[in-house]
Amino acid sequence: MQPDQPIGIFDSGVGGLTVANAIRHLLPDESLIYFGDTAHLPYGDKSKETITYYSEHIAAFLLEQQCKIIVIACNTASANAYEDVVKLIGNQALVVNVIDPVVEYITSQENISTIGVIGTKGTINSGTYEAKIKNTSPRLSVVSMATPLLVPMIEEGFIFDDISNAIIRSYLSKKELNGIDSLILGCTHYPIIKNQINKFYNFKVNIIDSSKIVAMNLRKVLLANKLVNTGGNTQMRFYVSDYTDYFKAISKLFFEEDILLEKLNLWK
């Protein structure tokens, strides 16, 4: 592994772009290769075996692209396939997920006591957030709730409108989340609707956006392994397993420029 090799990032769709954008701003000299598995989204309603199958194929592709580190920018894949991807990659590249950095951050905050976690069915049913938080800090109270409509809602472009507000309100009004002081957005799609979630709580609940936390953890990992790139000539490459107009639109929103999307079927 060399510092000038790219960083690989993958997600089921546009959600991982929140992580990619945070990485680009924090580590501007790094080249990025992003893969959005839009043909198979959402991952949240699929079995662990299926999620692992998709994740391993994407990780193998990113390894072929000479990535020095692979960021599993999907909570469902992080909860269900992280260990399998690590075994697959071995010592050929580093692998990080989006759950462990958030758990480390949450458990280091003394002003947090009651935490809500929202995510896909796959993430919530895995119990990963709750188990890791409680194992690290038993004093914390953790409640989890699946919010399966949010990913397809975002992928279909229903954001900042009456439909998305109604769905968000329906979920967050449920009694399971009563009394929380912090809310983990347990899906990398959710920061796209962070402002709407903040407004629902009248900005009185601490909304944990994993994208910046993951980017800071990535920088720490690269520094520890002496893999931070300080040279120029950075590149960004974006691949999708199925082309969608919304992916194109949301990527332009994040990166403030038209990007070239390459459609690639890894499962031929």
CATH code, 117:
3.40.50.1860
User: Does one domain contain both 205 and 216?
Assistant: no
Q: Is the same domain home to 109 and 199?
A: yes
Q: What is the pLDDT of residues 164-181, one digit of tens each?
A: 999 999 999 999 999 999
Please state the domain count of the chain.
Answer: 2
For residues 88 and 108, membership in a common domain is answered with no
What is the b/e burial string over 214-227, where b = at least 16 CB atoms within 10 angstroms of the residue's CB? bbbbbeebbeeeeb
Judged by average pLDDT, the poorest of 96-100, 110-114, 159-163, 252-256 is 252-256
- The answer to whether 76 touches 44, Cβ cutoff 8 Å, is yes
pLDDT digits (tens, 9 = 90+) for 36-57: 999 998 898 899 999 999 999 9
Known catalytic residues are 74, 187
Instruction: For residues 191 and 229, state if they share a domain.
Output: no
DSSP helix/strand/coil, 25: helix
The pTM (predicted TM-score) of the whole model is: 0.90
227/157 same-domain check: no
Q: What is the residue range of 139's domain?
A: 100-209
Same domain, 122 and 255: no
Judge if 205 and 232 occupy the same domain.
no
